[in-house]
Amino acid sequence: MPAPTIYLSRLIGVVALIIAAAVLADKAMVAAAIGHLEQEPVALLLLGFIQVACGAGIVLGHNVWSKGFWPLVVTLTGWALLARGVMVLFVPPDVMAAFVAGAHVADFYYLYAAIPLMLGAYLSLRGFSAAAPIKLAVTPTTPPPTKPPPPKARSRRRR
């Protein structure tokens, strides 16, 4: 597997697992934070900037659509982050608040927490169990053989 796929799988997987653990560890704090996001347009703006930067970085570095399911998951994760970031930046805050309210985060909290948990587990498992790509040693090319110098003429010594 290409090195960018392995690296991004490890990175996204570990970050998703940490986020999932934090979400599962303190439901009250996460629910309160989501509630405050509706009321804080500055926080939404910052969140959008971060999502666009991370998503664009993944998309520009790894836009692979045809090498199997694993690279496709990495690519789709980048596109999802980029799309969410753009949506957060350009959708008005009141529409975003309605969208968050319509998602019923409190009702489906553990389902929403399971998404980064499963994504992180899958990408971490694939990324850390993959063999690193073989790097071929570059050997310097030897110059083409040159003609041997002509034999030196024997000098005749006079006796």
Task: Name the residue ranges covered by the structural domains of the chain.
Answer: 3-129
> What confidence tens digit (pLDDT) does each residue in 116-149 have?
999 999 999 998 988 766 565 666 677 777 777 7
CB 58 within 8 A of CB 81: yes
> What confidence tens digit (pLDDT) does each residue in 11-30 have?
999 999 999 999 999 888 88
Query: pLDDT value at position 155?
Result: 67
Q: Tell me the whole-structure pTM to 2 decimals.
A: 0.73
DSSP type of residue 40: -
Structure tokens at 9: 């799988």
Cα dihedral 89, 112, 103, 107 sign: negative
Which uninterrupted H or E stretch holds 98?
A: helix 93-102
pLDDT at 86 over 90: yes
Query: pLDDT value at position 120?
Result: 93
CB 79 within 8 A of CB 119: no
Query: pLDDT value at position 45?
Result: 86
Structure tokens at 108: 């489906």
**How many C-beta atoms surround the C-beta of residue 106 within 10 A?**
10
Residues 40-66, mean pLDDT to the nearest whole number = 88
pLDDT at 97 over 90: no
